[in-house]
Amino acid sequence: MSQNIVVTAAMLAIGDELLSGRTKDKNIGHLADLLTLSGIDLKEVRIVADDEEAIVEALNALRGKYDYVFTSGGIGPTHDDITADAISKAFGVPCEYDEAAMTLLAEMYRRREMEFTEARQRMARMPRGAVHIANPVSTAPGFIIGNVHVMAGVPQVFQAMVDNVLPTLRTGTPVLSLAIACPYGEGEIGTPLTAIQKAHPETSIGSYPRYVGQKFSTEIVVRGRSQAVIDAAGAEVQAMIDAIRRRKDIAETIPPRLEGNAGTQGHP
């Protein structure tokens, strides 16, 4: 049997507007979906304010722990777009105007007959030695330094940049999953499901409660990198559901003891 390859990633979403609720993040879920399909495990997500020290601290913690780090936000033209400065500080290199990025942006604004202002030139700043991430939507590039991929926060641009980055990444063994519908709530399945998880450590078993029509139910999802281990755990989950169903069926067939007869009929 070939050994499973595990590749890990983290995401750092940057912006006061995310923490205030003014902007609803759309990038985390998109990245998670694509990384899962690519066989890369998204292990951690952090959201930090537009604060240089907070960005540096979070980035250094994540880049030393995971194979890849993806950031979103803070590489625009305004005063609070400080991601490039913070990442330069985290890597201990100067943040400077990249010549190739300056050329790309200058030509784009010339074609649009718009002034290439000092504020717009800020979008060409990046850490010394960084490599561009192409931006087919609005030209201003993201960049890669070390294992960190720095991308825009605007969802359309972020998604385009992710599409350009993914083919360049080392990928792992994809995670497979099996969803099992369970007609019982978590309170009834919690203990036996815990035992099943302990018996199948190569899988990750999640339970997702639902409440429809005044009735609780649960979707149980078994995840793993081998179909065989998923099927084995899934069989035990189904056996657990069947056992609960049989127990309930038996309980329903036993007639209730008549109140007040306990003294004459003896103990059950």
Q: What digits encode the pLDDT tens for the residues 39-69?
A: 999 999 999 999 999 999 999 999 999 999 9
Q: What is the pLDDT of residues 59-103, one digit of tens each?
A: 999 999 999 999 999 999 999 999 999 999 999 999 999 999 999
Q: Are 71 and 59 in contact (CB under 8 A)?
A: yes
Q: Nearest-CA neighbor of 244 among 186, 202, 174, 205?
A: 186
CA dihedral 100, 104, 109, 113 (to 10 degrees): 110
Question: Does residue 2 register a pLDDT over 80?
Answer: no
Residue at token pair 């069989």: 235
Q: What is the pTM of this model?
A: 0.84
Amino acid at 180: I
* Whether the predicted pLDDT of 268 surpasses 60: no
The distance between the two most distant Cα atoms of the chain, rounded to a whole number of Å, is: 100
Q: Answer yes or no: is pLDDT of 261 > 80.
A: no
Q: Any idea what DSSP says for residue 65? A: T
Please report which confidence band the pLDDT of residue 1 belongs to, taking 50, 70 and 90 as the band edges. Answer: very low
